[in-house]
Structure 1
Amino acid sequence: MTEKTFSTPMGQIHYWTAEAPGRPWLVFLPGLTADCRLFDKQTQALSPRFSCLVWDAPAHGASRPFALAFSMEDLTCWLHAILEREGIKKPLLVGQSMGGCIAQSYRKAYPESAAGLVTIDAPPLGRRYYTRAELWLLKHTKWMYRSIPWGLLQKCGVAGTSESPYGHSLMEKMLEGYQKEEYCALATHGYKLLAQAVEAYGESTLACPALLLCGEKDGAGSCRRYDKAWAKAEGLPLVWVPEAGHNANTDAPDFVNSHIEGFARKLFL
Structure 2
Amino acid sequence: MLEKTITSPRGTVHYWIARHRDPQAICLVFTHGLTANHRMFDHQVAYFRKHYTVISWDLPLHGASRPYADFSFQHAAADLDAIFIQENIPAAVLIGQSLGGYACQQYALDFPDKVLAFIGVGTSPFGRSYYSRSDRFWVRQVEWLSRCYRHDKLVTAIAKGATHTKRGFDNMVAMLKPYDKAELCQIMGIAYASFLRENQDTAFAFPVLLTLGEYDRFGKVSQYNWAWAAKTGYPLKVIPVAGHNANVDNPVVFNAVVEDFLDRLR
Band of TM-score, shorter chain:
over 0.9
> How does 1:53-202 map onto structure 2 within 5 Å?
53-67=55-69, 69-198=70-199, 201=200
1:207 Cα deviation after fit: 3.1
SS at match of 1:52: strand
SS at match of 1:112: helix
Q: Aligned pair 1:257/2:251, yes or no?
A: no
Q: Aligned pair 1:206/2:207, yes or no?
A: no
For 2:26 and 2:202, the matched residues in 1 are separated by 27
For 2:206 and 2:158, the matched residues in 1 are separated by 32
Show CA shifts across 1:51-91 (max 9, x none): 00000011111112222x22111111111121121111221
For 1:140 and 1:206, the matched residues in 2 are separated by 31
The alignment yields a C-alpha RMSD, in angstroms, of 1.1
For 2:52 and 2:260, the matched residues in 1 are separated by 12
Show CA shifts across 1:5-64 (max 9, x none): 111112110000001033110000001111000000000011011100000011111112
Match of 1:229 in 2: 227
Match of 2:14 in 1: 14
Question: Unpaired segments of 5 or more residues in structure 1?
Answer: none
Show CA shifts across 1:148-195 (max 9, x none): 111111110111011111111111111111111111100111111111
For 2:136 and 2:197, the matched residues in 1 are separated by 8
Q: Which residue of the other structure, out of 243, 246, 250, is the alignment partner of 1:245?
A: 243
CA contact (8 A) 2:144 2:185 kept: no
CA contact (8 A) 1:140 1:192 kept: no
CA contact (8 A) 1:27 1:54 kept: yes
SS at match of 1:115: strand
Number of equivalences: 264
For 1:78 and 1:139, the matched residues in 2 are separated by 26
For 2:202 and 2:54, the matched residues in 1 are separated by 28
For 1:206 and 1:123, the matched residues in 2 are separated by 15
After TM superposition, the score normalised by the length of structure 1 is: 0.95
Q: Which residue of the other structure, out of 40, 43, 47, is the alignment partner of 2:42?
A: 40
Structure 2 counterpart of 1:78, which letter? D
CA contact (8 A) 1:126 1:205 kept: no
1:147 Cα deviation after fit: 1.4
Question: Unpaired segments of 5 or more residues in structure 2?
Answer: none
After TM superposition, the score normalised by the length of structure 2 is: 0.96
